[in-house]
Structure 1
């Protein structure tokens, strides 16, 4: 497992200062980070005094692009292959139907709102653009044909929150798990996951367990026998026995004094050093902090409700993290790029764990009195084509012209459907929602309006999102 609060396009960047091995040797990446001119911006407003009901957010991201027709926008009257072989079922809200393979979610429809008219403003056909659009809220992909992370990118939601907020209880503000979204390995992570033009200091913490592929075979393997699992406590997340928290602090202080002639006491770079020092000590040196990442203390019955697979374990860990004080946890659930064997994969591999884990998360948050203060968002790069393709076995291809998303908790009223797609689930028919509006709604729930600004590396003020929130959902 790799714990990464930053990223650069070099192999070294995959080892981060939060790993005890790197810290112990003090071959730290921090001097390199500081030399990158990372600039700290004052928050545009006090989140505690904002209008949002949500203290935190769990973002469930369906990597590959989930089909609207087999999840939350069934079209039983559609002709031919536009009609799913799965049947719609009634929910506990009269008039709202979803896929028959989501029965546990169907009984909780009064807790969530479905948005059936989200779009990109066009039809983004590659994953990199879709990732950037949905994780930043900006549908102007910065570099045509260059989908990988770059400091010219718009910052991820978690990176924006890192600049606007301070961590609570020794925990980071933003965590992504259990993987980087990557094309085929380290150094080829898609844009939209890090701090982009805000600088490395605001990169979210990524708990990378090494699940790098889009295809379904890597998605839901049995938990038994895997080397590293979400919800476990790997050795790299703890200080080595011979290094105490006090000793670590002294080493960091020494490193700070060595760097001080270059940066001085009052510079923003020097303050960044203090931020990294505090985070390193908190995450590595505080038992209560890193225990928040472990599900070992949870009852076996609760773990079973979530499911002993990557999505279930990640969702349970996400609940523990927001309960402990993390603002945003992004959970990546891959396998949705179903260009072939679409129905088989959605039926056997994708919808059952989604139904189980998503429903368990909503139940668990509600049981603990956390749902009202925790926004749960469900999205992906795009949807899938209205018609099945000619592959053998057949599948659905990428489709950004319309897709479905879901919001629950955090002030959002449940039991609603917002927007409507046409009879093929191919284009918005009523109340179209641009992806920037969807992301603006997440910010709204967290207490930030669309005019909130952050400061980039060049000292320029930048709006956090270009869209407007869906006020009707609240």
Structure 2
């Protein structure tokens, strides 16, 4: 057998092998899509969106302090709720014997031609309500953070299922050849509960998983070539590895081999694309000010600007996590100053993203989603400070662009915001609708694993056609 010139003269030790390729565990884990279609395009709905930017507020923001003023709840503030609201109900921390109905201290106004109510905490978001589609009757299954985040991201409350971004990458691939098709950005004091499985590939081939970009100047560890390794030498190395892998793949059909080939290729291409992507010096002062990016420090604002740059370059699914929205009522974790801080961190940039995408002609093709894993109760927890417990029976999210109706609200809750009374949307319905907007029939996007066909929506989900343009 003739070996390639670069490895024929000698045997390369494992450490030298990794050094010459510029690889480490970090860059070897860059397993991304191969452009494979997971669905038959001829049977799919017409795509309204090409990309998704998902602004995930980890912890469960309170709809009552942000988007859902309830006059009846204000009037009943401090009263004991009827037993029908607490007996046999699922709560994370509320003691039914001590629970009190609680209005909000935040002032609300109706904004725009649509008249959507938004609180004083989100002055910038209030300015774009005519571009937003509010979902006011969402429901979910999981009451605790880890399972609820998994459910919102994978359609299942336990580990092991593919994330929505992975399903979408599997279904329609990516338009980016030098960046991953699914990228994750994080901000806040820590990562979201649930961790990497929230953007994992589950049982799908590894190259469909999300790639976390770290904050700071080195978003992907060890991406730069090792000192002394020239690009030509590294290119030759990758060609050799690819040839060997393809030789093996020709004998055995192995997703791991295909993913490894994709990983090497993507890592090599990202060495030139990533530094340019994360360098914001080409953005004007006006654009940076629009988002609230004042310097190079990591922030939600910086991540929003990066997300716009990513979809411009063809990244299919960008997910931003911003943590610390779990306001139960502890001194450092409540609906007072901590909530004000979270809103200040995300308000300007969330609105700027929609504004910037719109004026660049990208909003029609980009679906922007804002929300958390669940909502909050209309009752307080009676702790040392003002707070609310987790609530799965009614919460609010908003969407923009990508084929959803602007200036529109869908769903309604009862007088105190406890239950959905009209046009409810379950998480499975949300997933079905997102896939539909991307031109995917959620019932046909399947993957066979352990003898059965799986899908993001399991055996559930209905497209919410009423919110589509």
The alignment's TM-score, normalised by the length of structure 1, stands at: 0.79
Show the counterpart of 1:305: 290
- RMSD of aligned C-alpha atoms? 3.1
Cα distance change of structure 1 residues 335 and 28 upon mapping to structure 2, 3 Å threshold: closer
User: Does 1:160 pair with 2:167?
Assistant: yes
- 1:184-209 Cα offsets, whole Å, 9 max, x none, are xxxx7264321112142321111244
Structure 1 segment 15-54 matched on structure 2, within 5 A:
23-25=21-23, 42-46=37-41, 50-54=45-49
1:282, CA displacement in angstroms?
1.5
Contact kept, 8 Å, 2:20 with 2:234, in 1: the verdict is no
1:271, CA displacement in angstroms?
3.2
Show the counterpart of 1:327: 316
Show the counterpart of 1:194: 200
3-state SS in 2 of match to 1:197: coil
3-state SS in 2 of match to 1:83: coil
Contact kept, 8 Å, 1:76 with 1:87, in 2: the verdict is no
3-state SS in 1 of match to 2:109: strand
Contact kept, 8 Å, 1:199 with 1:456, in 2: the verdict is no
Cα distance change of structure 1 residues 393 and 415 upon mapping to structure 2, 3 Å threshold: same
User: Does 1:177 pair with 2:185?
Assistant: yes
Cα distance change of structure 1 residues 329 and 390 upon mapping to structure 2, 3 Å threshold: same
Cα distance change of structure 1 residues 92 and 386 upon mapping to structure 2, 3 Å threshold: same
User: Does 1:431 pair with 2:423?
Assistant: yes
User: Does 1:392 pair with 2:384?
Assistant: yes
Contact kept, 8 Å, 1:372 with 1:411, in 2: the verdict is yes
Separation of aligned partners in 2, 1:63 and 1:108:
22
Contact kept, 8 Å, 1:455 with 1:462, in 2: the verdict is yes
- 1:5-40 Cα offsets, whole Å, 9 max, x none, are xxxxxxxxxxxxxxx979525678859989xxx999
User: Does 1:71 pair with 2:66?
Assistant: yes
Show the counterpart of 2:153: 135
Show the counterpart of 1:473: 467
- 1:235-261 Cα offsets, whole Å, 9 max, x none, are 744334533333223223444456567
User: Does 1:125 pair with 2:131?
Assistant: no
Separation of aligned partners in 1, 2:43 and 2:299:
33
Unaligned runs of 5+ in 2: 1-17, 78-100
1:444, CA displacement in angstroms?
1.3
Structure 1 segment 191-340 matched on structure 2, within 5 A:
191-209=197-215, 228=216, 236-256=222-242, 263-264=249-250, 267-269=253-255, 270-284=257-271, 286-287=272-273, 289-308=274-293, 310-340=299-329
Show the counterpart of 1:61: 56
Show the counterpart of 1:214: none
Contact kept, 8 Å, 2:214 with 2:220, in 1: the verdict is no
Structure 1 segment 375-390 matched on structure 2, within 5 A:
375-390=367-382
1:182, CA displacement in angstroms?
4.3
Separation of aligned partners in 1, 2:288 and 2:436:
32
3-state SS in 2 of match to 1:369: coil
Contact kept, 8 Å, 2:22 with 2:234, in 1: the verdict is yes
Separation of aligned partners in 1, 2:47 and 2:357:
18
Q: Which has the larger radius of gyration?
A: 2
Cα distance change of structure 1 residues 429 and 22 upon mapping to structure 2, 3 Å threshold: farther
Cα distance change of structure 1 residues 161 and 375 upon mapping to structure 2, 3 Å threshold: same
The alignment's TM-score, normalised by the length of structure 2, stands at: 0.79
User: Does 1:361 pair with 2:353?
Assistant: yes
Separation of aligned partners in 2, 1:237 and 1:48:
40
Structure 1 segment 335-346 matched on structure 2, within 5 A:
335-340=324-329, 341-346=333-338
